[in-house]
Structure 1
Amino acid sequence: MRFKLLIVLVEDTKTEQIMNAAREAGATGATVVGDARGEGLNPKKTFFGLTLESQRDMVMFVVEEHLSRKILERVAEEAGFEENPGSGVAFQLNVEDAIGLGGQIMCLMDEVEERL
């Protein structure tokens, strides 16, 4: 079984919404790293040296490769990345090897068979 790592950078107010959308599309779990920062094409405005922007979370999903694109597209749709520039970004990377997914592999095998 091959896996992809989906990384989603999104406003912290949308984290639960993103996790639910990913789960509906086939993700079996997530890791959330809070308090991420970033800067796009146009730096955020400041007020007396304080940046006026919301907190970001980095949400990571290890998913079966056949489900990865569908999950990625569903997350992007839910977050409105294409309609709202600066609202976040999502991307996927190949996972060379993974340990600790034994409990999820049986569930993933059934999930992949159902969805393909």
Structure 2
Amino acid sequence: MNYVTAIVKPEALPVLSSLCEELALPFTVTLHGRGTAVQSMRELLGIKSNENRLLVTVANEERTAALMKAMKEKLHIGVPGHGIVVAVPVKSVGGGKTVAFLNGEGRSAGYVPSLDFQYELIVAIANEGTTDQVMNAARAAGARGGTVLHGKGTGSKDAKQFYHFSIAAEKEVVLIVTAAAQKADIMRAILRDAGPDSEAGTIVFSLPVSDVAGFGFLREE
């Protein structure tokens, strides 16, 4: 079972939503985001705007594969500038009924995740307005780009400040997908140049990714 995140241009969202409905995925959530590609790269790829839509859903292995295949066929995922999709394995699910619901089955079922991953999703949570600082560090270590989400922290009253990172202040979340072999270098670079003791105050962690599409620099089938 996977937590699937698809990042596409706003005009592609209706098609993506229809694909999710056709596959009878149990739920979808749509968020607004923006890409981090520099102007020269956007011009090279013919991208006029860096505005994105991020759709998240949960799907079993069969439906994950079907969604990725459909996105490649209908949305041309894999062609530069048309979007990306990543699947993060779900480690555990609360209750057999929930597993059955997410799998689209009528009865409870067990779930055991796979632990063999070639890719990683780096999540960097930084203070508002410091995205460039985070991405400059990441690119210097080999990252090709990322997607930024804007939000507000909701930390407890006892955890208001962690170095320069204010838990309840406005935040920007940077999502970067990379080959597993590059993950450590990118995370070290972010911590060195934009870590907790910097103005960005970045907290960074990574999640395993079971499948990807839309990254020409990674080996995809």
Question: By the TM > 0.5 criterion, same fold?
Answer: yes
- Residues of 2 paired with 1:29 and 1:104: CA distance? 13
The corresponding residue for 2:33 is 35
The secondary structure found in structure 2 opposite 1:87 is coil
The corresponding residue for 2:168 is none
Cα deviation, 1:73-108, whole Å, max 9, x if unaligned, reads 1123221123x3211111211111234983971870
Contact 1:4 1:92 in 2 (8 A): yes
Matches within 5 A, 1:76-91: 76-82=72-78, 84-91=79-86
Matched, 1:13 2:11: yes
Which consecutive unaligned segments of at least 5 residues does structure 1 have?
A: 46-50, 111-116
Matched, 1:58 2:47: no
Larger gyration radius, structure 1 or structure 2:
2
Structure holding more helix per residue: 1
Matched, 1:24 2:19: no
Cα deviation, 1:16-74, whole Å, max 9, x if unaligned, reads 2101112212422211111232328x6224xxxxx941521111111122321112211
TM-score norm. by structure 1 comes to: 0.69
The corresponding residue for 2:66 is 70
Superposed CA RMSD in Å reads: 2.9
Residue type at the aligned position of 1:91: V
Between stretches 64-73 and 94-103, larger displacement belongs to 94-103
Residue type at the aligned position of 1:109: E
Residue type at the aligned position of 2:86: F
Contact 2:26 2:102 in 1 (8 A): no
- Residues of 2 paired with 1:107 and 1:23: CA distance? 14
Contact 2:59 2:102 in 1 (8 A): no
Change (3 A) 1:7 1:88: same
- Residues of 2 paired with 1:9 and 1:106: CA distance? 21
Runs of 4+ more than 6 Å apart: none
Relative CO higher for 1 or 2, CA cutoff 8 Å, sep ≥ 6? 1
- Residues of 1 paired with 2:19 and 2:102: CA distance? 21
| Count, aligned residues | 101
Residue type at the aligned position of 2:58: V
- Residues of 2 paired with 1:52 and 1:66: CA distance? 35
